[in-house]
Amino acid sequence: MPVNQQILLDNRPQGEATVDNFKLVETATPALQDGEVLVRHHYLSLDPYMRGRMNDSKSYAASQALGEVMIGGTVGEVVESRHPKFQPGDQVVGMGGWQLYSVVDGNAPGMLRKVDTTHVPLSYYLGAVGMPGVTAWYGLVKIIQPKAGETVVVSAATGAVGSAFAALAKARGCRVVGIAGGAEKCAYATGELGFDACIDYKAHPDLKSMAKALKEACPDGIDGYFENVGGYILDAVLLRANAFARVAVCGMIAGYDGQPLPLANPALILINRMKVEGFIVSEHMDVWPEALTELGTLVAQGKLRPRETIAHGLPNAPEAFLGLLKGKNFGKQLVQLV
């Protein structure tokens, strides 16, 4: 059996995460039991939610256990199978974690899914046609519920979620405004992703400046907001929100280092009779087939062309992950493992 490389969570962050929180080990790959499948991972997904799992604190999901393989989505190829549903050579997506190989129970619901790479590249199943894409779909379709002509805004606009959000919202006839870090990302948002406007938060680093920029980009106010960041950006959006605006709360990356993120003026939620709803996409598996069908179609039609930032080799995953948390990636952050 092949030797497996794994990255474990060695210790918990004190404030900002560092590379010293992780540990690279080598281990033997266990022999397969009946019903099990051995997968060789081609790509590992790096996502902001992983930072929250590193903390030992109350959250929507259990903390990442110390000394265990870091959680993470993977795509790859079946190299050995003792399950009739999977054959060597099958392309699959699952939650294999930060390692080169995983042994998966082929009978466990939702743990391993075969994918078709005829029209959709394998790596896209970790981004546009994977969990991030479905996240964008759920927040937009089920919570914001946009009508044609409405203005919707998304933070972290050029990431995996934001790029899918733009394509989905444009397909529904919305004016779509993004918030991203840097002039280059904003040019990509409007030039390639189809955003009507994009605000560079680095040029608007405080509430007053961001609120002014949102007023200019959203002259008719904001009807829907997809939240990935929190902090003063959320405060600025609330100032520009229309009556009966809807906010889908997906992430709060500004607070992942453990600091609370107070709202400056929560009374605006009442004044504008707003709906604010947090969600975890893995709790809504019933909508995944519908969402993935639409996302795959948008990719095949060329209406969703997400960019990827790719680190090479498992040992470089921690550095790439820390860069993701600081917005250094362009589009979906992946680690190529083959």
Query: Residue 320 corresponds to which tokens in the numbers above?
Result: 């790439």
Rounded-to-integer distance, Cα 7 and Cα 9, Å? 7
The answer to whether 104 touches 37, Cβ cutoff 8 Å, is yes
The pLDDT, as a whole number, for residue 62 is: 81
User: Residue holding tokens 């039991």?
Assistant: 33
The pLDDT, as a whole number, for residue 238 is: 98
Helices (H) and strands (E) in the chain, counts: 9, 15
Mean pLDDT of 116-121: 91
Mean pLDDT of 172-200: 97
The pLDDT, as a whole number, for residue 230 is: 93
Please give the full DSSP string across 250-284, using - where no structure is assigned.
---GGGTTS-----S-THHHHHTT-EEEE--GGG-
The pLDDT, as a whole number, for residue 110 is: 81
The answer to whether 74 touches 94, Cβ cutoff 8 Å, is yes
The answer to whether 75 touches 122, Cβ cutoff 8 Å, is yes
Residue 261 vs residue 22, higher pLDDT: 22
The pLDDT, as a whole number, for residue 57 is: 77
The answer to whether 167 touches 161, Cβ cutoff 8 Å, is no
Mean pLDDT of 275-290: 95
